[in-house]
Structure 1
Amino acid sequence: MKHRLIYPCAVLPFIAWGSTAFAHDGAHMHPHGIDLLWILVGAGICAFLAAAGYKRMRK
């Protein structure tokens, strides 16, 4: 069970860094780009958790 938690924890800092770097670049051109990006990030995390939960339920 522990090895399942390592992957999301390792990826989150990269997602946070990438989103903030993108937000700084996109804020000048697209004010609403930040909101859309966070929605996509949130949706991605939810989808990942849902997939992990689904796989766990199947076993």
Structure 2
Amino acid sequence: MTRILAATLIPALAAAPALAHSGPHLHPHGIDAAWIVAAVALAALAAVVWFRR
């Protein structure tokens, strides 16, 4: 579980600085959106693995 949680949180935390450059608006651009999609996909995968146990 710890590995899955780490695999989910690391991309989400990595996206935070990328979003910080946006200034007052928070809609994602390019690679920012890719990080968000990757983090959500990993979170969904972690949820599936966790609840199938």
- TM bracket (short chain): 0.5 to 0.7
Runs of 4+ in structure 1 off by over 2 angstroms are 14-18, 24-27
Task: In structure 1, list runs of 5 or more residues that go unmatched.
Answer: none
Task: In structure 2, list runs of 5 or more residues that go unmatched.
Answer: 23-28
Instruction: Tell me the distance in 1 between the aligned counterparts of 2:21 and 2:49.
Output: 30
- 2:34 is matched with 36
Instruction: Give the TM-score of the pair, scaled to structure 2.
Output: 0.54
Answer with 1 or 2: which has the greater Rg. 1
Task: For residue 54 of structure 1, report the CA deviation from its aligned partner.
Answer: 0.8
Q: What's the C-alpha RMSD, in Å, of the aligned pairs?
A: 3.0
- Aligned residues of 1:26 and 1:33 also touching (Cα < 8 A): no
- Residue among 2, 8, 20 paired with 2:16: 20
Task: For residue 35 of structure 1, report the CA deviation from its aligned partner.
Answer: 0.7
Task: For residue 16 of structure 1, report the CA deviation from its aligned partner.
Answer: 4.4
